[in-house]
Amino acid sequence: MARIQLDLSKEKWQCEHIRPGQGIKEEFHKIPCERQGAAFNWNYVSIPGDPYTDLQRVGEIDDPFYGQNMHKLKWVQEQEYWYMCKFNIPKEMEGQWIDILFEGVDHSCTVWFNGYELGSHEGMFSPFSFQINRYVNFEQWHGGSNILLIKLDPPPRNFERVSGMKFNYNGDYHTGNVPFGIWRPIHVIAHDAVTLQDLRIESQVNGTDAMVTVDAIIDNLVAESSLKTVQLIIEGKNCNTQPIVLSSEKLICSGENKIAFQVPIEDANLWWPWDMGEQHLHTLTLQVYEQDYLVDEIKETFGIRQVEMAMNPGYSEDEAENPWTFVINGKKTYLRAACWGGQPSLLYGKNSDEKYEKLLHMVKEANINHLRIFGWHPPETPVFYTLCDELGITVWTNFTFSTNVIRKELPFAHEMVDACMDIVKERRNHPSAIFWMGGEEVSFTDAHAVSGNKKLMAMLGEAIKKYTNTPYGLASPLSNGTGIKMGYKSKESQHANEHYYGAGHVFMEEFYPSLDCCIVPELTAASAPNVESLKKFIPEDELWPIGMSWAYHWADIDYLKILNVEVFDDEKMDSLETFVEATQQAHGIILQYALEHYRRRKPYNSGVALCHFITHWPDIKWGIVDYYGQKKSCFEDVKRTYNPLLVSLAFEKRRWQNETFKASLWVVNDLYHAYDNTTLHYAIYDEQQQKLKEDAIALSVIDGMSSKKFVDITCETPQGSTFDVHVWLTDQQGRKLSENAYTLLIGDQAEAKARCKAMRVEADERAAKYPGFYRYFPEKWDNDFNY
């Protein structure tokens, strides 16, 4: 074998924590590889993992996510952690060059091997390696003849100094504890002096044909030059592409040597998002031979696809100068998106491939075709992108610059850019990765406006061109007040969050239509998880009435009550079950209204992303799937609203009283498939489900990739408190192609707005008087410590 690999994640690991600096004084780094007592009682831990999960496993700490435990565990991040692994190195590696490769350590560490200090590293996203040839013991001892020791430093506490090299752990919805750990696998790799590195695969698509370009580096660690044969093999992985074999001879000099192939493919099996076509994948094998000896080999799964950006119609150059419509293999697509919401868990040791597989299949079930990883969360692990490749879910990845002024002095700026390019190089060959973005909310405050943030975002854009053809965007949003001050145009992108954060100040029917922009990368609504999930992280005595742990787990209690009144004319505070159900229903109704509004605006609007699909710890906030993998009821609302073929009711307000109800019926088609001879139906029911009106309208054709109003409808508003509108689309055989439903209120819209406004004024007055969580529990601030 040209390359032999040992996965140290599968070996036994132990760990001890100690005060910073004390481990060296205790000479932990000199612990020998033998049976002796110094480390008998170190905890057994898992790699990848994190200290919080490991300490919980052995009972040193309670569940970090239960109640307000995270604040009780801040001592965990004040320690350094020594990881130890004893292992044998296969005899087959003898005579080879041997490296230890660390795929990712969060955030800084120092490494010793067999008593020798190999070096230190900082930065969560950049892999690093050390050569260990001269230190290796090839004896095959019981329990291992080699010892690896890693000192994991306490994590950084000021995000400003690690922007771009770690994800943002601060902010308005984090715990105050900093996640850290060895979050990616560690490998021992034996190889020849000549190795293949930095494989890059690009595709250009012209109709049904494609040109695949392959670039790589051949690194020669010795001084002598030699003639090598480089062979490239492309095979279909899940399709019938005929194998393609190309080879060339090249003189490999000392140091880095570039190699490139161009491979024309006729009638190529293209990779498409799931709602546009098949997810054809290919395997590329690159090999280096010296005569008949295989010197090195790397393999990569890729998809043949091309991503371009087009300008959105309807906007002048003074309104939008950046293209925001995604064009895949020459066809425009609409992003029915969600912000992913972080890894399945904030704590790395609680993640697994099985969780990713379950959750990403749920993404597709919800008719979501695109996921946005924004700058508050880390770029995802390889299994995430691999599953997205297989499922046909496209991915937009932000670099981890989020809501702060970024240091611009050198060499720090170059270190940040290098870390971002490492992120790109590891993920660029995944066909699902269709967009890179510089920052999240880095054009958000007056301080940002006078900072170097804009220059750094442009600097990243220039750097990324060297490493990928995949499009890049500067930041999100661009078109808020600060972004416009910084020189961005007024109708590029907006975050649609102010209906939630401004609960009571504006109703949904007024807010969402007021945002006129090309794309909406973030749209928030919130709810409580199911009662069974709440019981897993909220102490029993705080479940009901609502206790402080709700606020600790991000519950904006005032906002949830106000939005219940906006949607139902009732706070729904009769019981825990009633309140939870109401928040989830309100969450779904708000998302239905907002997402359908933007979908009807296509092609002027080219995408919208609900925020979020999941969240990375047990929360009472945005996810439509909770931390424990349980769907909220609003999941079904999103699934229906994101149907690629959508029948949609457009109306100007939720409340109607003693007047004629007026609305219009639209059909939005995100598929490249026209529908002929369909029938559009609607039926209106009163509160007792008595039918008030129904009709069926014959449609001649529904064009592919279209959004069109077909008919206006009217009906006298009935008596009672609610009425329902059902809409559906059938084909010639009467089969339903799409269906939708709406419950509207009978009442005074102005009166409801006044009530919600008064609730918000009272909430704001309380928030001005009491800090943080105490705005919900002022008695805790006033009384608990007054003796």
Secondary structure tally for the chain: helices H, strands E: 19, 36
Q: What is the CA radius of gyration of the chain?
A: 29
* Tally of CA atoms within 13 A in the half-sphere of 613 that contains its CB: 28
User: For residue 327, with 0-12 CB atoms within 10 Å meaning exposed, 13-18 middle and 19 or more buried, which class applies?
Assistant: middle
- Gap between the Cα atoms of 359 and 365, Å rounded: 10
Q: Which amino acid appears at position 537 of this protein?
A: F
**CA dist 259 to 1, 235, 494, 580, Å?**
22, 20, 43, 59
For residue 125, what is the DSSP state? S
Write out pLDDT tens, residues 126-180.
Answer: 999 999 999 999 999 999 999 999 999 999 998 888 989 998 887 665 667 899 9
Is the backbone of residue 148 left (phi > 0), alpha (psi -120 to 50) or beta?
Answer: beta
Are 243 and 234 in contact, with CB atoms under 8 Å apart? Answer: yes
Tokens 């040992």 correspond to what residue? 6
- Gap between the Cα atoms of 259 and 195, Å rounded: 12
**Number of C-beta neighbours around residue 310 at 10 A:** 13
- Gap between the Cα atoms of 603 and 477, Å rounded: 19
Are both 3-190 and 307-642 of the same fold?
no
Task: Give the pLDDT confidence score for residue 38 in this predicted structure.
Answer: 78
- Gap between the Cα atoms of 173 and 627, Å rounded: 14
- Gap between the Cα atoms of 163 and 123, Å rounded: 10
Residue 249: both structure tokens together: 């001879």
**Number of C-beta neighbours around residue 110 at 10 A:** 18
**Number of C-beta neighbours around residue 425 at 10 A:** 17
- Gap between the Cα atoms of 200 and 172, Å rounded: 38
- Among 394, 370, 384, 304, residue whose Cα is nearest residue 342: 384
The crossing angle, in degrees rounded to 10, of helices 412-427 and 453-464 is 40
Task: Give the pLDDT confidence score for residue 36 in this predicted structure.
Answer: 74
Residue 701: both structure tokens together: 């054709």
**CA dist 384 to 225, 226, 468, 613, Å?**
40, 39, 20, 14
**Number of C-beta neighbours around residue 602 at 10 A:** 21
The topology under which CATH files domain 648-747 is Immunoglobulin-like (2.60.40)
Residue 478 sits at φ, ψ, to 5 deg, of: -100, -25
Task: Give the pLDDT confidence score for residue 630 in this predicted structure.
Answer: 98
Are 1 and 93 in contact, with CB atoms under 8 Å apart? Answer: no
- Among 355, 357, 263, residue whose Cα is nearest residue 302: 263
**Superfamily grouping for domain 307-642:** Glycosidases (3.20.20.80)
- Gap between the Cα atoms of 342 and 377, Å rounded: 5
Domain ranges of the chain: 3-190, 194-302, 307-642, 648-747
**CA dist 683 to 287, 317, 364, 665, 697, Å?**
64, 43, 30, 12, 12
Is the backbone of residue 699 left (phi > 0), alpha (psi -120 to 50) or beta?
Answer: beta
Which helix or strand (DSSP H or E) is residue 675 part of? Answer: strand 675-685
Q: Which amino acid appears at position 308 of this protein?
A: E
Task: Give the pLDDT confidence score for residue 438 in this predicted structure.
Answer: 95
- Gap between the Cα atoms of 75 and 80, Å rounded: 11
- Gap between the Cα atoms of 433 and 470, Å rounded: 8
Assigned CATH for 194-302: 2.60.40.10
Task: Give the pLDDT confidence score for residue 34 in this predicted structure.
Answer: 84
* Whether the bond into 603 is cis, omega within 30 of 0: yes
- Among 636, 634, 614, residue whose Cα is nearest residue 626: 614
Can you give the length of the chain in residues? Answer: 787
pTM over 0.85: yes
- Gap between the Cα atoms of 351 and 338, Å rounded: 20
- Gap between the Cα atoms of 34 and 114, Å rounded: 11
Q: Which residues of the chain have pLDDT under 50?
A: none
- Gap between the Cα atoms of 522 and 449, Å rounded: 21
Spell out the alpha helix ranges (H) of 58-187.
69-72
Task: Give the pLDDT confidence score for residue 677 in this predicted structure.
Answer: 94
Spell out the alpha helix ranges (H) of 517-669.
531-537, 540-543, 548-552, 557-568, 576-600, 634-641
CATH class of 3-190: mainly beta
**CA dist 145 to 11, 151, 190, 256, Å?**
13, 20, 17, 34
- Gap between the Cα atoms of 162 and 79, Å rounded: 19
